[in-house]
Amino acid sequence: MDARPIGIFDSGLGGLTTVREVRRLLPGEELVYFGDTGRVPYGSRSRDTIIKYARQDVAFLRQFDLKAVIIACGTVSTTALDILCQENSLPVLGVVAPAAQTAARRTRSGRIGLIGTQATIRSGAYERHIAQVRPDAQVFAQACPLFVPLVENGRTRPGDVVIETVAAEYLAPLKQAQVDTLVLGCTHYPLLEAVIRSSMGPQVELVSAGAEGARAAAELLRRSDALAPQDAPGGLKCYVSDQVADFSRLASLFLGWDVAGQVEHVDIDRY
């Protein structure tokens, strides 16, 4: 048993897809979330910059006495997971391997679509993990650089002509490739689930990196007997590097409960 909090971070709102799933699976856990809203997006930046930001994010979170850190960000998971694991003495868990393994197991045709940030697609990490489980699978990858800024601006709803136009253009090659499974390789994308689902059609199974990462982390904590006591109330405290109000509004909408009093600003450049 381990009552210490779990640290979770992302470049912005996207990691809340992991928070939501961890809360659902392990409601007794204390969660500390950092969203680097002042520097989002990460996915269009260089490898060196992503590693520098990720190190600062972990350094901030490690001020708390954590039992584990979840990188709720596809971009950081594909680019900096190994480095962060080497540099930290506590478990640092990513979202890529769990999502890739689930997609590889679920596909029937072996035709898997992958959407992610430019850095994630460039890394080839999903393809490597998928090939380990399903060597005959074909992965059709598409970078979607405009998705993250649109999500951060709340443009997530079906009927919003901007997001629908952008989604139609990004997803067209994957529809043409007739994928039967689509990996949402960036943790922001489940906030666009309704838009993506209506564009791809009901026959395509969506696999969320954020949710799969949460499931794998919950499993690991359970196996290592590191869960919070069963009667623990659980909780969530959020920190962001830009305006608290904008994040609070969108986070409350997405999580389905009011986080307004639980969000604080942090100067991430100090770390």
Pick the catalytic residue: 85, 144, 186, 238? 186
- Is 73 annotated as catalytic? yes
Q: How far is the CB of 116 from ligand DGL (least distance, A)?
A: 6
Nearer to ligand DGL, 14 or 228 (CB): 14
SS3 state at 169: helix
Q: Is 265 exposed, middle or buried (0-12, 13-18, 19+ CB in 10 A)?
A: middle
Q: In 3D, which of 148, 181, 164, 107 has the Cα closest to residue 250?
A: 148
Bridge partners for 33 per DSSP: 8, 238
Q: Which residue, 5 or 41, has its beta carbon nearer to ligand DGL?
A: 41
CB of 210 to ligand DGL, least distance (A): 7
Per the residue annotation, which of 73, 85, 144, 238 is the catalytic one?
73
Give the chain's largest Cα–Cα span: 50
H/E element, 178? none
* Rounded distance between C-alpha atoms, residue 55 and residue 132, angstroms: 29
Residue 190 CB, nearest approach to ligand DGL (Å):
10
Q: Nearest approach, Cβ of 73 to ligand DGL (angstroms)?
A: 4
Other C-beta atoms within 10 Å of 237: how many? 16
Annotated catalytic residue 186: yes
List interacting residues with ligand DGL (CB under 6 A): 10-11, 14, 40-43, 73-75, 117, 120, 148, 186-188
Positions marked catalytic: 73, 186
